[in-house]
Amino acid sequence: MIATSRRHLLAVAVALAVTSPIAATAEDKTTIVVASTTSTQDSGLFGHLLPLFTAKTGIEVKVVAQGTGQALDTARRGDADVVFVHARAAEEKFVAEGFAETRRPVMYNDFVLIGPKSDPAGIKGSADIAASLKAIREKAAPFVSRGDRSGTHQAELALWKTAGIDLETAKGDWYREIGQGMGAALNTASAMNAYVLSDRGTWIGFKNRGDLDIAVAGDKRLFNQYGIMAVSPAKHPHVEAAAAKTFVDWVLSREGQAAIASYKIDGQQLFFPNADQPGA
């Protein structure tokens, strides 16, 4: 049943076009599944990294791009060999449950609050995310939430709490949850001229900006750390443990970290490697 599920997942990954652009050239070539966030996919990072990794190791990588919560659940079911996400508390819980032996930091960027240039909440240029969210709520300015248990969604919910706002009682027609990924959330915000929290990497790579621009950035509470974990063969003996370790080791290596740093769009670096900071 598990093997069938994994085969189905690989087929789905191919059908959704969230795979490495490198195609398998031999039936016996090792393939691993990486459950990751939509931000690493939508930003184009994997399109940059995976051909380099495959060329070096011969290991193919199929990416299943989901919100962090869904990606971790995919790995809990044994349908992924590696998890590459950005919600540290959820990652540490995954390790504590025995689904991975360790979590390692990989890279970081930051979240930015995107909004319409008309700026109905009057927050453009602020570096105070809590005050900005309060202004959005007070003026009932349109706000799009991913609502998908992703790392970005979890960060958004934590920021509302930091602002002292109870969404269960405060949200109304102004607050729209879509249950989709970062690209879809940005597209919805563009169509609605709404505010939305985004990771900076996806925003830089996003083309359908319409009337949107960065409204709030620079608050230390917007820091966005990514971590990586190989799924434990003690939990799921069928995982490609050796190939998964090779992938994790490469991402954390000097070569992998340099590849992350070299990924830029229009001269802007999207992610900043920090595997050398074990406490991150």
pLDDT at 254: 98
170 and 214 together in one domain = yes
Tell me what the mean pLDDT of segment 35-56 comes to.
94
How many Cβ atoms from other residues are within 10 Å of residue 22's Cβ?
A: 17
Tell me what the mean pLDDT of segment 39-50 comes to.
93
249 and 197 together in one domain = no
pLDDT at 3 over 60: no
117 and 216 together in one domain = yes
The answer as to whether 156 is a domain residue is: yes
Q: Is the dihedral of CA 181, 182, 186, 189 positive or negative?
A: positive
Structural domain harbouring 28: 2-108+225-273
Residue 80 to residue 275: CA distance in whole angstroms: 22
Tell me what the mean pLDDT of segment 33-54 comes to.
94
pLDDT at 279: 86
pLDDT at 14 over 50: no
DSSP characters over the chain: -HHHHHHHHHHHHHHTT-B-SPPP-STT--EEEEEEEHHHHHTTHHHHHHHHHHHHH--EEEEEEE-HHHHHHHHHTT--SEEEES-HHHHHHHHHTTSBS--EEEEEEEEEEEEETT-TTS-TTB--HHHHHHHHHHTT--EEE--SS-HHHHHHHHHHHHTT--HHHH--TTEEE----HHHHHHHHHHHT-EEEEEHHHHHH----TTEEEEE---GGGEEEEEEEEBPTTT-TTS-HHHHHHHHHHHHSHHHHHHHHH-EETTEE--EE-TT-TT-
Query: Which pTM does this prediction carry?
Result: 0.85
6 — pLDDT class (breaks 50, 70, 90): low
The answer as to whether 97 is a domain residue is: yes
- For 198, residues 6+ apart whose C-beta sits below 8 A from its C-beta are 111, 112, 113, 114, 152, 182, 185, 186, 206
163 and 241 together in one domain = no
9 — pLDDT class (breaks 50, 70, 90): low
The answer as to whether 278 is a domain residue is: no
115 and 102 together in one domain = no
Residue 54 to residue 23: CA distance in whole angstroms: 10
10 — pLDDT class (breaks 50, 70, 90): low
The answer as to whether 280 is a domain residue is: no
pLDDT digits (tens, 9 = 90+) for 229-250: 999 999 999 999 999 999 999 9
169 and 212 together in one domain = yes
pLDDT at 77: 97
98 and 234 together in one domain = yes
pLDDT at 1: 47
End residue of a domain, out of 222, 243, 263: 222
Domain count, the chain: 2
The answer as to whether 184 is a domain residue is: yes
Residue type, position 101, single letter: E
pLDDT at 28: 59
Bigger pLDDT: 99 or 21?
Answer: 99
CATH number at residue 87: 3.40.190.10
147 and 199 together in one domain = yes
278 — pLDDT class (breaks 50, 70, 90): confident
pLDDT at 109 over 90: yes
The answer as to whether 16 is a domain residue is: yes
195 and 176 together in one domain = yes
The answer as to whether 88 is a domain residue is: yes
The answer as to whether 185 is a domain residue is: yes
124 and 210 together in one domain = yes
pLDDT digits (tens, 9 = 90+) for 137-181: 999 999 999 999 899 999 999 999 999 999 999 999 999 999 998
pLDDT at 16 over 80: no
13 and 96 together in one domain = yes
Residue 60 to residue 55: CA distance in whole angstroms: 9
pLDDT at 50 over 70: yes
